[in-house]
Amino acid sequence: MFGSPRWQQMLQEKSIKGDPFKRMQGSDVDLTWVEEDEMAMREPVVIEKPDGLGMKMPSSDLSVDDVADLIGRDTPVEVIGMCYPALFPKIFLRYFI
């Protein structure tokens, strides 16, 4: 688990609601989806299985700490904000650790 003991306690006391996002398989993310689903590329989707995306995915236990160890904590990275999907260039990994 991560964070301070107080943070961990707060998380344990809260019920976390599910998200409203559409679930898809990687193989379903294609040109047909983009052309036929009017919400394609307008709303976030959750790709439950990346098979068919043509991408190599990191292991599920890869953490921000692992990435920071690999590229350095002061390496600027581009981040996409989840509340407001905007690109935030040049944020340093140390802000996430």
Q: Over the stretch 51-85, which tens digit does the pLDDT of each residue have? A: 888 888 888 899 888 988 998 988 887 766 666 55
Q: What is the pLDDT of residue 1?
A: 55
pTM listed for this prediction: 0.50
Q: What is the pLDDT of residue 35?
A: 93
Q: Where are the beta strands (DSSP E) in the chain?
A: 22-25, 45-49, 76-80, 87-92
Number of separate domains in the chain: 2
Q: Are residues 39 and 71 in the same domain?
A: no
Q: Are residues 43 and 23 in the same domain?
A: yes
Task: Check pLDDT > 60 for residue 95.
Answer: no
* Band of residue 43 on the pLDDT scale cut at 50, 70, 90: confident
Domain of 65 in residue numbering reads as 58-97
In a domain, 69, yes or no: yes
Q: What is the pLDDT of residue 92?
A: 54
